């Protein structure tokens, strides 16, 4: 396997993410001005994101996804073209997604990184988070259920009306769609999480058995 240039791969990922956001915005008939109004983000910042010249935080990406009637993992996992598929998955077909350790769409920021573990439109969207987030950010809210498995470290999860929960290694947490949530790291060390959201793609195996 050829050696990967991390800086070039990161720049490519930002450019691809920007193209996807731009395409989806246009599909919804939204101008940058309207998207800025819906997200609370500035028009110049959104323009820079679409051009691959600015890095959105996960919170900003979540706002954009909500305004575009989708979810963050969908923006990260959706295929672009053959070049995108080659970079993000060894196999990306209607029935199979095989993502190797050095593949997968990723968003990096000061407090950690999030990596998509599937490519394409799927019935579920698992992501790997490595986070050092010391303080709670704004609440997230999705229409679909979410599941968290703590691989390493410890996090405190705030589910708003559904309580505060501290999770350590091998602890799991499931919550339904519509539940407001946010997290922060407990302790000095980063936490590594497997986070899975349900998606809208059909379950082909289930359809076959029906």
Flag whether 84 is in a domain: yes
pLDDT score recorded for residue 49: 95
Of 68, 88, 108, which residue constitutes the final position of a domain?
88
Flag whether 73 is in a domain: yes
Q: Are residues 82 and 127 in the same domain?
A: no
The CATH number that applies at residue 179 is: 2.60.120.10
Say yes or no to pLDDT of 9 above 70. no
Flag whether 110 is in a domain: no
Lowest mean pLDDT among 85-99, 120-134, 147-161, 193-207: 193-207
Exposure b/e, 135-151, CB count within 10 A at least 16 = b:
eeeeebebebebebbbe
Question: For the chain, how many residues are written?
Answer: 210
pLDDT digits (tens, 9 = 90+) for 82-125: 444 446 788 889 899 999 998 888 887 788 989 999 988 899 99
Q: Are residues 132 and 56 in the same domain?
A: no
Flag whether 103 is in a domain: no
Residue span of the structural domain in which 185 resides: 123-209
pLDDT score recorded for residue 7: 60
Q: Are residues 129 and 82 in the same domain?
A: no
pLDDT score recorded for residue 50: 95
Q: Are residues 142 and 200 in the same domain?
A: yes
Q: Are residues 134 and 186 in the same domain?
A: yes
pLDDT digits (tens, 9 = 90+) for 126-146: 999 999 999 999 899 988 899
Flag whether 41 is in a domain: yes
The CATH number that applies at residue 80 is: 1.10.260.40
Number of domains in the chain: 2
Q: Are residues 73 and 136 in the same domain?
A: no
Measured between alpha carbons, how far apart are the two ends of the chain, in Å? Answer: 41
Of 88, 114, 137, which residue constitutes the final position of a domain?
88
């Amino acid at each position: 396997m050829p050696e990967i240039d991390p800086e070039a791969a990161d720049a490519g990922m930002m450019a691809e993410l920007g193209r996807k956001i731009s395409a989806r915005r246009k599909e919804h008939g939204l101008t940058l001005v309207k998207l800025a109004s819906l997200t609370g983000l500035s028009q110049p910042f959104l323009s820079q994101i679409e051009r691959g010249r600015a890095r959105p935080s996960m919170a900003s990406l979540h706002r954009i996804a909500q305004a575009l009637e989708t979810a963050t993992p969908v923006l990260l996992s959706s295929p672009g073209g053959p070049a995108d598929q080659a970079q993000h998955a060894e196999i990306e077909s209607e029935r199979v997604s095989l993502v190797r350790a050095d593949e997968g769409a990723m968003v990096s920021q000061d407090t950690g990184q999030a990596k998509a573990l599937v490519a394409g439109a799927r019935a579920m969207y698992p992501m790997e988070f490595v986070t050092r987030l010391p303080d709670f950010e704004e609440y997230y809210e999705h229409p679909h259920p979410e599941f968290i498995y703590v691989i390493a470290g410890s996090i405190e999860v705030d589910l708003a009306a559904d309580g505060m929960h501290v999770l350590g290694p091998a602890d799991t947490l499931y919550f339904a769609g519509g539940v407001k949530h946010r997290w922060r790291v407990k302790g000095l060390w980063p936490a590594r999480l497997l986070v899975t959201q349900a998606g809208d793609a059909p379950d082909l195996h289930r359809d076959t058995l029906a």
